[in-house]
Structure 1
Amino acid sequence: MPDLEIDRVSKRYGDVVALDSVSFTVRSGELFGFVGSNGAGKTTAMRIALGVLAADSGQVRFGGEPVTHETRTRFGYMPEERGLYPKMKVLPQLVYLAELHGLSTNEAHRSAENWIARLGLAERRLDEVQKLSLGNQQRVQLAAALVHDPSVLVLDEPFSGLDPIAVDVMSDVLREKAARGVPVVFSSHQLDLVERLCDRIGIIRSGRLVACGSVAELTGGAGTQLVVHAPAASPGWAKRIPGVRVVSEEPGGTVLDLEPEVDDQTVLAAALATGPVREFGRRRPTLAELFRHVVTGGER
């Protein structure tokens, strides 16, 4: 499958800059996580990729060519808000949507039944969408994005409202699609899930892409952190050490950022002064910690 390219895309709403020259590529067979705070520009970028919105400048390309209406019929899109007909039954609705993308009636039925079974909706196949639980509506929404066997998947908060079993099912589906060469991009606030699933991640803040790369690249660039578990230490014990910033402080351990000139043995000595030390070691920051740091511009 070809790559999906977002090239210097900008969008304004009056005085509000929704996107400011955003560029990233979702490669063939790649799971790309698109993360940012509410209002950062994720949904706007996805809608522009799908042609739901027009960009003020920049271009969306698929396989090196500008995306056209015909190209977009090969895209699978899952909006954050429900995009289904609430009074229409599940099976007829999926068949209808597949036919809109060019499948014959027989092909549409086969594909709809396949995804209904795969996503655990067999007992709800003839229910009206509005009578389903929110989690099952989300499953139908995913089926609607997949039913025409798309060449690209663009999913806005696909894991929202799903129970852990449904999250596993959807994760497997996305991995399967990527394994078949489909570029998959999705947004999510569940950063642990993004960290586990994605090959690369883009972080957007106030309409600008401020970080992009694999988890290892992003967290590696942030440097390592020190984890210290000193059960007898009083809260704030590490704040008195020059050049040390407390990232988090919990009963299971304190996570610290050290300036380059700080000797970690100084920290160990301070911890031992409070009593026994059960854990002392380096680790890379998690994606959630990196995200908090990036979206606040380095300020806590």
Structure 2
Amino acid sequence: MHSVVLENVSKRFGSTQAANHVSFDVQPGEIFGLLGPNGAGKTTIIRMMLDIMRPDNGRIQIFGGSMNEAKKDRIGYLPEERGLYADQKLMDIILYLASLKGMKKETAVSAAETYLKQLDLWQHRDKKMSALSRGMHQKAQFIVTILHNPDLIIVDEPFSGLDPVNTQLIKEM
């Protein structure tokens, strides 16, 4: 069974054609990328895959069928827009978002500790997000994306705000 299947998916916003008969499939374990210039419709395609918006026509299947809440729990999504709660502490946010994905607290704490150390954020775990750099925010959001060990990871501009060293570190994970 494919992780993702898009068949002739199209989306228009007024006179702008954001996606035009897009078709592709992604096998489990496959790394797949959407490439194109700014405004080409990559984020729109991702949003349709995640059922954030509906296509005008075409068919999208995730894990063999239509999107539902159980399937959303199997996906790790790193959006293009950043938005972790600025007044909350890094570790608190990670644990809260892990709980929304159904993780037990002990498991989430252990995984968070591992990833925070791996991405050199451990010493910042008790700091508010507003005190962290853009690159640290990006690494924190990446942790939240992968913490629950999702079956499918969807990332939109994952290296935005990261220096070359941290970009390579994320790629290796």
Query: Normalising by structure 2, what TM-score?
Result: 0.93
Per the alignment, in what secondary structure is the counterpart of residue 66 of structure 1? coil
The question of 1:88 aligning with 2:66 is answered no
The question of 1:18 aligning with 2:14 is answered no
C-alpha distance in 2 between matches for 1:4 and 1:127: 37
Residues 130 and 33 of structure 1: CA distance in aligned 2, closer, same or farther (over 3 Å): same
Residue of structure 1 equivalent to 2:52: 52
* 1:53-89 deviation line (CA, Å, top 9, x unaligned): 2222222212322222220111100011103111111
Per the alignment, in what secondary structure is the counterpart of residue 82 of structure 2? coil
State the 1:96 CA deviation.
0.5
State the 1:2 CA deviation.
4.6
Residues 83 and 49 of structure 1: CA distance in aligned 2, closer, same or farther (over 3 Å): farther
Q: How many residues align?
A: 173
In structure 1, runs of 5+ residues without a counterpart are 174-300
Residue of structure 2 equivalent to 1:37: 37
Residue of structure 2 equivalent to 1:76: 76
* 1:126-160 deviation line (CA, Å, top 9, x unaligned): 11112111111110010111111111010000011
Residue of structure 2 equivalent to 1:117: 117
Per the alignment, in what secondary structure is the counterpart of residue 64 of structure 1? coil
Per the alignment, in what secondary structure is the counterpart of residue 37 of structure 1? coil
State the 1:43 CA deviation.
0.5
C-alpha distance in 1 between matches for 2:83 and 2:48: 17
Per the alignment, in what secondary structure is the counterpart of residue 32 of structure 2? strand
* 1:24-45 deviation line (CA, Å, top 9, x unaligned): 1122212112111111000001
Pairing of 1:2-17 with structure 2 (within 5 A): 2-17=2-17
The answer on whether the counterparts of 2:2 and 2:25 sit within 8 Å (CA) in structure 1 is no
Pairing of 1:241-252 with structure 2 (within 5 A): none
C-alpha distance in 1 between matches for 2:43 and 2:114: 29
Residue of structure 2 equivalent to 1:145: 145
* 1:249-277 deviation line (CA, Å, top 9, x unaligned): xxxxxxxxxxxxxxxxxxxxxxxxxxxxx
RMSD between superposed Cα atoms in Å: 1.5
The question of 1:131 aligning with 2:131 is answered yes
* 1:105-135 deviation line (CA, Å, top 9, x unaligned): 2222222222212222111111111211111
The answer on whether the counterparts of 2:2 and 2:26 sit within 8 Å (CA) in structure 1 is no
C-alpha distance in 1 between matches for 2:48 and 2:60: 8
Which range moves more in the overlay, 144-153 or 56-65? 56-65
C-alpha distance in 1 between matches for 2:96 and 2:63: 28
Q: Which amino acid aligns with 1:54?
A: R
More strand by share: 1
The answer on whether the counterparts of 2:5 and 2:60 sit within 8 Å (CA) in structure 1 is yes
C-alpha distance in 2 between matches for 1:134 and 1:58: 37
Per the alignment, in what secondary structure is the counterpart of residue 7 of structure 1? strand
Residue of structure 2 equivalent to 1:160: 160
C-alpha distance in 2 between matches for 1:2 and 1:100: 26
C-alpha distance in 1 between matches for 2:164 and 2:154: 22
Q: Which amino acid aligns with 2:27?
A: R
Query: Normalising by structure 1, what TM-score?
Result: 0.55
Of all paired residues, the percent bearing the same amino acid is 38
Q: Which amino acid aligns with 2:81?
A: E
Structure 1 runs of 4+ with >6 Å offset? none
Residues 59 and 83 of structure 1: CA distance in aligned 2, closer, same or farther (over 3 Å): farther
